[in-house]
């Protein structure tokens, strides 16, 4: 039986502007595979999901692809490989995909992962580094306050060579000065790449 690393991930696509001679490839662009988490379970519980669902998410593989599309909007595709067992006891993998497209600086509803119970409106901005390269992306997520789960949050994607860091912070709806921070680490992935190794709780 194929492992998650051997399965055909659906979101591995080449950025459409990658080979454009008038534009350099941005550090954030490409496909990235999860290799580690830090305090991510506490983040999951803080946004309102159950401990059982948090355990399922922690055991899942995760891939994200991001790039600037032809219309100058940024596309963020994510895919979760949920590991489970069939009723006969066989190991199975279920792939769940999420896709969003953002115009920089314009707030719009974001399609969150299945396990996230919130409704949020998200604004995306890019932050250039010292060389003028856009290696950092910031997502400000404002939750609908008339819903049961209404925690605002922020996500920062930062690329450094073949590694990508996802920094997450969720804020208490009662006190914005109280928050839970988490970090996820990714490695650049290409079709045919061998398994990067077992995920660790805090490998960095």
Asked if the model's pLDDT at residue 13 lies above 80, the reply is no
Contact, 138 vs 147, CB < 8 A?
A: no
CATH superfamily of 30-189: Calycin beta-barrel core domain (2.40.128.20)
φ and ψ of 45, to 5 deg: -65, -35
Asked if the model's pLDDT at residue 2 lies above 50, the reply is no
Q: Is the dihedral of CA 47, 50, 51, 52 positive or negative?
A: negative
The stretch 89-104 carries a mean pLDDT of 87
In which region does residue 133 sit, left (phi positive, over 0), alpha (psi from -120 to 50) or beta (all else)? beta
Give residue 192's pLDDT band: very low, low, confident or very high (50, 70, 90): low
* Those residues with Cβ within 8 angstroms of residue 104's Cβ, 6 or more apart along the chain or in another chain: 73, 74, 124, 125, 126
Give residue 123's pLDDT band: very low, low, confident or very high (50, 70, 90): very high
What is the total residue count of the chain? 204
Distance CA 26, CA 132 (A): 10
Asked if the model's pLDDT at residue 22 lies above 60, the reply is yes
Asked if the model's pLDDT at residue 26 lies above 90, the reply is no
Angstrom CA distances, 49 to 55, 73, 106, 128, 166, stand at 10, 31, 28, 34, 20
Find how far residue 98's CA is from the centre of its chain.
Answer: 10
E-assigned strand segments in the chain: 30-38, 61-68, 74-85, 91-102, 108-110, 120-128, 134-143, 153-160, 163-171, 179-189
pLDDT given at position 196 = 44
Q: pLDDT tens digits for 130-172?
A: 777 789 999 999 999 999 999 999 999 999 999 999 999 999 9
pLDDT given at position 99 = 94
- How many CA atoms, within 13 angstroms, populate the side-chain half-sphere of residue 10? 12
Asked if the model's pLDDT at residue 193 lies above 70, the reply is no
Asked if the model's pLDDT at residue 199 lies above 60, the reply is no
């Amino acid at each position: 039986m194929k492992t998650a690393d051997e399965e055909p991930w659906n979101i591995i696509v080449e950025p459409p502007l990658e080979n454009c001679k008038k534009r350099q490839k941005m550090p954030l662009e490409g496909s990235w595979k999860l290799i580690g988490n830090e305090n991510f379970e506490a983040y999951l519980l803080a946004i309102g999901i159950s401990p059982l669902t948090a355990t399922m998410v922690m055991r899942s593989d995760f891939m994200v692809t991001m790039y600037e599309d032809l219309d100058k909007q940024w596309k963020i595709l994510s895919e979760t490989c949920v590991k489970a067992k069939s009723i006969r006891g066989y190991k199975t993998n279920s792939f769940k995909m999420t896709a969003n497209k953002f115009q920089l600086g314009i707030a719009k509803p974001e399609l969150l992962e299945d396990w996230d119970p919130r409704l949020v409106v998200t604004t995306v901005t890019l932050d250039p580094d010292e060389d003028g390269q856009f290696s950092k992306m910031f997502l400000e997520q404002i939750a609908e306050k008339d819903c049961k789960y209404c925690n605002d949050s922020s996500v920062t994607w930062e690329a450094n060579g073949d590694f990508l860091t996802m920094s997450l912070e969720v804020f208490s709806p009662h006190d914005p000065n109280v928050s839970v921070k988490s970090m996820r680490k990714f490695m650049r992935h290409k079709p045919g790449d061998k398994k990067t190794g077992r995920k660790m709780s805090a490998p960095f």
